[in-house]
Amino acid sequence: MGQDITLAQLRDWLLRYADLIDERAAYLTELDAAIGDADHGANMVRGMSKVRSRLLEDVGGCADVGTLLRTVAMTLISSIGGASGPLYGAFFMRAAKETNGDLSVSLGELTRMFRCGVEGVQQRGKANLEEKTMLDALEPAVDALEQAVVSGHSPEHALTAASAAAQEGMKHTIALEASKGRASYLGPRSIGHQDPGATSSYYLFATLADAVGKNK
């Protein structure tokens, strides 16, 4: 409790996420080949490589938390052709709206930002839980953060719990039938496959837990 999550930790998070996306691109594409159009890895690599270059060049991209997250949102929206671009864009854009010129945020603030981010994804994609989408990882992660805030846990503890909840949610998509996005075209044949977007969403929380845990 009490420790803030700093701009430097958030920037490190996004660089770690870009690296993990590179590392897992083939796997994400393989998951999307089973129930979609085999481009989720390539889509995420395109978007996050752009984010990485902007952060490393530091062209007005990370002056404060709001600017950082807005830069990520705009970069993903403008560089990813698939559904995931506008959806992740909505997540980061709505989260950014909840902060101003802050150089750090409390766990409570970050949790509120992410709750708004999830609502942004819901509004854009019109999906709810259990429809086999990224929301099945994002929403349990934010639920876990909210519980951790109530319990007064440290950011590190809270984000580790959020990452575990996202991973559970990701695995749970295997059993679900898709009713949104391309995978819904398969109907019951989508059952038995893990959702690619839920997988990249789990990575988002896994890398955040790492970034905060390792940069204390």
Residue ranges in contact with ligand ADP by CB under 6 A? 32, 36-37, 39-40, 43, 82-84, 87, 121, 125-127, 133-135, 180-182, 195-198
Torsion of the alpha carbons at 127, 133, 12 and 150, rounded to the nearest 10: 60
Ranges of H-type helices in the chain: 7-35, 40-57, 65-79, 84-97, 107-125, 135-151, 155-172, 196-214
The interface partner of residue 120, options being Mg ion, ligand ADP, none and the CB cut-off 5 to 8 Å by kind, is none
Residue 36 binds to Mg ion (criterion: CB under 5 A)? yes
Residue from 13, 18, 39, 138 touching Mg ion (CB under 5 A): that is: 39
In angstroms, give the least distance from the CB of 19 to ligand ADP.
19
In angstroms, give the least distance from the CB of 66 to ligand ADP.
24
The interface partner of residue 181, options being ligand ADP, Mg ion, none and the CB cut-off 5 to 8 Å by kind, is ligand ADP
Residue 37 binds to Mg ion (criterion: CB under 5 A)? yes
The interface partner of residue 157, options being Mg ion, ligand ADP, none and the CB cut-off 5 to 8 Å by kind, is none
How far apart, in whole angstroms, are the C-alpha atoms of residue 81 and residue 39? 10
Three-state helix/strand/coil letters over 155-181: HHHHHHHHHHHHHHHHHHHHHCCCCCC
The interface partner of residue 180, options being Mg ion, ligand ADP, none and the CB cut-off 5 to 8 Å by kind, is ligand ADP
Quote the tokens at residue 93: 């854009």
Which of the 8 DSSP states describes residue 81? -
Site residues, Mg ion (CB under 5 A): 32, 36-37, 39-40, 82
